[in-house]
Each structure stands twice: as C-alpha cells, then as structure tokens.
C-alpha cells in the first residue's frame, strides 16, 4: 500500500462522505482526491517524474493536502517548509534537496523571490493565492489538469517526504521517510489508541511542522473527517470543537496550555470530545490542564499522549487513556502524567549505556529505538545517517529513565547535559521544579562555561509574578540537591522557540555569553 492509496480508497468507497472542513470550504472524499490528482497531473505536464523533489511553502489549507497527496501519488519527494521561514532557510532546503519546483503561497512569495539567486536548480515556482508574483498559478494549472489517478510506478519503500529538523543544534538535516514508514506510524497509532468509524478529528497545529501532517494522514487512512484550522487560536479551537462536534482533538504543549487555561473554558459544550491527545509537557502542566478541563461539566472525554521525534518517524511511546485515568485517580501516581508512557507494541525503546546494554530501571541511559516507523536516514548525508544508528538502534540523542512498571521519563538531551564540578546534571530534572513555582511562567536550564565549575548551571526564567534572582535560588534550595541547583538566574521576556515549540537553548547560551552571570 502507498500513502496515496488511502485517499483513493476513500474516494472510491465513500465518495460523497465528509472529508475535510477548512474555513468556508467543505470537501467530500471525491473532491479532495480529485484535487490531489489534478496537482499530480499538472506537475507531470511540467515534466516532473518519480524521484524528483518539490519544496512546498504553505500554511494549513486545502491546497496543502492536495500537494502532499498529489506528490505521494506521483512518487515525487516533497519537503514542507513553514511559511515563516526566511530566504536563507528556503534556499538552504531547495539546494540541499536539488529541488526542481517550489510551490509557494502568496504570503511567502517575497522570501522565495529573495532566495531565487541562491537556488539555481529550481526551474519553476508555482504560486497560489491572490497577488503572488510568479508566472505559474496553482489554480490555473490544476483546473486545466486531468482528474484521473496518476500513473506512477513505485513501491512502499520508495521515498515519500523529507522533513527538515528544526536546527536547534546546527544546520538542519533532512529526515527522509518512505511510504512504508509513514504507514507504519499511522497503523501503530490506530492500534494503540481506540478509534471509531464515527470519529471526527480537529487540528490547529501547522501541518508543515511534522506531527500535524502525520496525524492528518492517519485519520485519512482511517476514513475520519477532518476539521483543519489555518492557525491556532484558543477561542476558535473551542468553538470548533463545539460547533463541529469534534470527537478527537490534538494539541502541542502550547495549544494544550492555552486551551485549558481559556477564561471561558467552562462555557463551551465539549460533550462530543471523547479523546484529547497531546505531545507531552513539563512542570505538571498535563495534570493541571486536565484538572481544569474536567471542571467543564460537559467534558467526559479522556486524554493520551506519547513521545515521538522526526527521526523516530512517529510516536514510539504512549501514555494511554487508562494510564492517565489511573494517574488522576491516585495522587501517588500523578507523576506519571509527566512521563512518556510505555513503549508502543510495535516498537522497542530502551535506555542504554555506552556498551549498548540496557541500564537498570531508575538509572539514566541513552534513548534508543527500534521500530518500523523509524526514518530511512538523512537526505544526502550517508555518514551522518550511519552515525544515527548503532547496532540497529536509532540513537535519538535523548537521555531516558525507565521505572519498574515500564513508564519512561526524559532526562534531557545528551547535548544539553551539563558537566559541572565533574558531575553530570540534567536540565530535564531541574526545569519541572522551576516550572512548579508560582513565580515562573516558563523556564529552561543551560550550562555556560565557568572557570571554577567547568560549566555553571543557569536558570533562564520568564516571570509569572515579580521575583528576584534570590527568590528563585531560595526556592530551589530545599527542592534540589546542591550540585543541581542553579548558580545564577537570567530573566527573559520570552524564551526563544522553534516553530514546533522547542526552546532554542543554543540561542539562550548565546544571549548569556554577553552578560555577567
């Protein structure tokens, strides 16, 4: 089976059934499939063939899904890019992929025009939306194209998509996935979490960021109608849940916190919402958010989350609804809400030592994954692809701790580990403590060079209430061992984040290097 086969299957077997709601547009399965076919056939007329590469720079839209599925049907490798990307970033991706075509919405046109001299391999730019300056227009091309299924020879192991890492530790690398790997991620999620034919899914996360597209493709595989928002707004999300009778909602950490902190949360009818999924959180936010959500008397649903990474290709651990219910019912198990859950049934997830042996439960080791959804490798980087794997394990670069019941907790990134006074300190152990303070809205911990300690532990804090460095240090005194306590506190108006919500610790370190800490 290929990714495009799922959409074609729905169009054959339920052509008039609801498929996609986006703003004022409502498409059935036939309509969505026709759009993907026309895009594929339009690209064929331009001379593109299986194996070529296309970069598409688009916000959530009907066209985004037409492009994703159209490229998949034609066997073209697609690379989604966030519309907030600047010219340098766009040119980097286009050159790295040797892309032949860029598909770009009007709002990102200026960056593409600026990048043009630095991507000589791009033969055509297709624009869509009012006012784009390009010679080829998306709507004009697709309207004139055939709606027949494109004819392309490919297998499940053909390349499908390249998702570039967020570049928090250096130049972004393109993570390559095949049809088989994305299907494995989709099937794994459907296997782990209870889904029904009557489900209706809503998403406000940007599809170009990764997890959103993976989840949408999973629900298309299952034949569920999807309600997609152009961008996140907490009020619009809650109104959508109520108006469209959404049964499954997805959230990132930011979305989850803002939705569950909405001042009018209790006034919305959430009776249809039976599952709310997340991508993990810190500092007790999962617990606090769920307790706030349960104050809405209409909400009778359940929650689940898990851990995934771009290289892992999808979720490889799950904190399932039963786990969440158990943790909420038992104060002694409440901490499990901050865990990654347990390894998925189709995966192996382990904490390993330097000799690639599993460390005892309760000890910290290197996170390693074996799963059918794991990525193929980094685009055009054979040496780095080889380094990503050891003895058949994907080494995620994370640090992991497992308890006796199989629940796993991140102990940070190996690159984030701070070596201070000869002792290893893991920011992921300190950050939840800081986030539990009533004075702290957001926090991250980094290490900076220090003549006495080797590295100094520094807390980077966004205030929730007025406080001083002394207040934060005193708060930590009774809650952390001496070697884990921050030696200094730096206050920020906001912490720098990637488009996917990851704190850019490299940027924090740069900012701190110019200060007297």
Predicted pLDDT at 39: 98
* Residue 70 near residue 8, CB atoms below 8 Å: no
Task: Say if residue 439 is exposed, middle or buried (CB neighbours under 10 Å; 0-12, 13-18, 19+).
Answer: middle
pLDDT, tens digit only, all 517 positions of the chain: 999 999 999 999 999 999 999 999 999 999 999 999 999 999 999 999 999 999 999 999 999 999 999 999 999 999 999 898 889 889 999 999 999 999 999 999 999 999 999 999 999 999 999 999 999 999 999 999 999 999 899 999 999 999 987 654 457 899 999 999 999 999 999 999 989 999 999 999 889 987 889 999 999 999 999 999 999 999 999 999 999 999 999 987 778 888 999 999 999 999 999 999 876 544 456 788 888 999 999 999 999 988 888 899 989 999 999 999 999 899 899 889 888 999 999 999 999 999 999 999 999 999 999 999 999 999 999 999 999 999 999 999 888 999 999 999 988 777 788 888 767 787 888 998 999 999 999 999 999 988 778 889 999 999 999 999 999 999 999 888 788 999 999 999 999 987 667 788 888 998 998 777 7
Please state the φ and ψ torsions of residue 511, each to the nearest 5 degrees. -65, -40
On whether the CB atoms of residues 273 and 246 are closer than 8 A, the answer is: yes
In angstroms, the CA 46 to CA 328 distance is 56
Distance CA 277, CA 279 (A): 7
pLDDT of residue 450: 85
CA end-to-end span of the chain, whole Å?
57
Residue 452's pLDDT is what? 77
DSSP-H helix ranges across 53-158 = 62-74, 87-97, 109-115, 138-143
Model pLDDT, residue 281: 47
Question: What is the C-alpha to C-alpha distance for residues 404 and 342, in angstroms, rounded to an integer?
Answer: 11
How much is the pTM?
Answer: 0.84
Q: What pLDDT, on a 0 to 100 scale, did the predictor assign at position 282?
A: 43
What's the distance, CA 501 to chain centroid? 9
**10 Å Cβ neighbour count for 479?**
13
Q: Which stretches does DSSP call E strand in 154-219?
A: 159-164, 174-178, 201-203
Q: What domains, with CATH codes, occur in the chain? A: 29-154 (3.40.50.980), 417-513 (3.30.300.30)
Determine how β-strand 18-22 pairs with β-strand 226-228: parallel
The Cα 452–Cα 207 span in angstroms is 46
Whole-Å CA distances, 25 to 15, 19, 68: 16, 11, 18
Q: How far apart are CA 192 and CA 314, in angstroms?
A: 13
DSSP annotation string for 455-511: EEEEEEEEESS---HHHHHHHHHTTS-GGGS-SEEEE-SS--B-TTS-B-HHHHHHH
Handedness of CA 242, 245, 247, 251 (dihedral sign): negative
> How far is 226 from 198, CA to CA, in rounded Å?
12
Tokens at residue 321, please? Answer: 């609804």
Compute φ and ψ for 45, nearest 5 degrees: -65, -30
Scored b (16 or more CB within 10 A) or e, 449-467 reads ebeebebbbbbbbebeeeb
Where do the H-state alpha helices sit in 199-277?
Answer: 211-222, 234-244, 253-260
And the tokens for 435?
Answer: 């986030």
How far apart (Å, rounded) are the C-alpha atoms in residues 476 and 437?
9
Cα–Cα distance for residue pair 487/177, rounded to 1 Å: 43
- H, E, C per residue of 102-122: EEEEHHHHHHHHHHHHHCCCC
DSSP code of residue 159: E
HSE (side-chain half, CA atoms, 13 Å) at 474 = 6
Q: How far is CA 341 from CA 47, 192, 320, 321, 408, in A?
A: 47, 12, 7, 10, 6
| pLDDT value of position 421 | 75
Kindly state the tokens that stand for 59.
């916000």
């Amino acid at each position: 089976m290929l990714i495009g086969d799922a959409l074609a299957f729905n169009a054959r077997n339920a052509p008039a059934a609801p498929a996609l709601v986006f703003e004022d547009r409502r498409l059935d399965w036939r309509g969505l499939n026709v759009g993907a076919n026309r895009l594929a056939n339009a690209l064929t007329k331009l001379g593109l063939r299986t194996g070529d590469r296309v970069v598409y720079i688009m916000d959530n839209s009907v066209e985004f899904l037409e492009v994703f599925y159209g490229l998949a049907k034609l066997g073209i490798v697609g690379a989604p890019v966030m519309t907030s990307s600047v010219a340098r970033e766009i040119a980097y991706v286009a050159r790295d992929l040797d892309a032949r075509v860029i598909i770009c919405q009007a709002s990102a046109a200026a960056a593409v025009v600026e990048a043009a001299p630095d991507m000589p391999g791009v033969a055509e730019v297709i624009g869509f939306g009012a006012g784009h300056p390009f010679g080829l227009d998306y709507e004009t091309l697709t309207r004139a194209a055939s709606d027949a299924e494109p004819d392309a020879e490919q297998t499940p192991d053909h390349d499908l998509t390249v998702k570039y890492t967020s570049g928090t530790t250096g130049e972004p690398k393109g993570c390559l996935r095949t049809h088989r790997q994305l299907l494995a991620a989709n099937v794994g999620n459907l296997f782990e979490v209870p889904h029904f034919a009557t489900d209706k899914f809503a998403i406000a996360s940007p599809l170009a960021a990764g997890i959103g597209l993976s989840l949408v493709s999973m629900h298309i595989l299952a034949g569920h109608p999807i309600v997609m928002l152009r961008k996140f707004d907490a009020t619009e999300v809650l109104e959508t849940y109520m108006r469209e009778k959404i049964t499954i909602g997805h959230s990132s950490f930011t979305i989850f916190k803002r939705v569950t902190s909405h001042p009018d949360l209790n006034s919305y009818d959430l009776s249809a919402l039976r599952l709310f999924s997340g991508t993990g959180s810190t500092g007790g936010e999962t617990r606090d958010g769920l307790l706030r959500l349960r104050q809405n008397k209409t909400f009778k649903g359940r929650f689940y989350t898990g851990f995934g990474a771009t290289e892992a290709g999808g979720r490889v651990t799950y904190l399932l609804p039963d786990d969440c219910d158990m943790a909420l019912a038992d104060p002694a198990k409440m901490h499990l809400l901050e865990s990654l859950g347990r390894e998925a049934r189709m995966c192996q997830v382990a904490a390993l030592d330097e000799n690639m042996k599993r460390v005892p439960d309760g000890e910290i080791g290197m996170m390693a994954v074996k799963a059918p959804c794991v990525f193929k490798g980094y685009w055009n980087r054979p040496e780095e692809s080889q380094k990503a794997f050891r003895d058949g394990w994907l080494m995620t670069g994370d640090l992991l701790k497992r308890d006796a019941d199989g629940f796993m907790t991140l102990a940070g990134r190996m690159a984030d580990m701070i070596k201070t006074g000869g002792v290893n300190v893991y920011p992921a152990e300190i950050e939840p403590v800081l986030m539990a303070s009533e004075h702290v809205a957001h926090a991250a911990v980094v290490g900076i060079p220090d003549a006495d300690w080797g590295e100094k532990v520094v807390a980077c804090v966004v205030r929730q209430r007025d406080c001083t460095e002394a207040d934060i240090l005193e708060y930590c005194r009774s809650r952390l061992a001496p070697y884990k306590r921050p030696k200094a506190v730096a206050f920020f108006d906001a912490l720098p984040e990637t488009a996917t919500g990851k704190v850019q610790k490299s940027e924090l370190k740069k900012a701190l290097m110019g200060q007297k800490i």
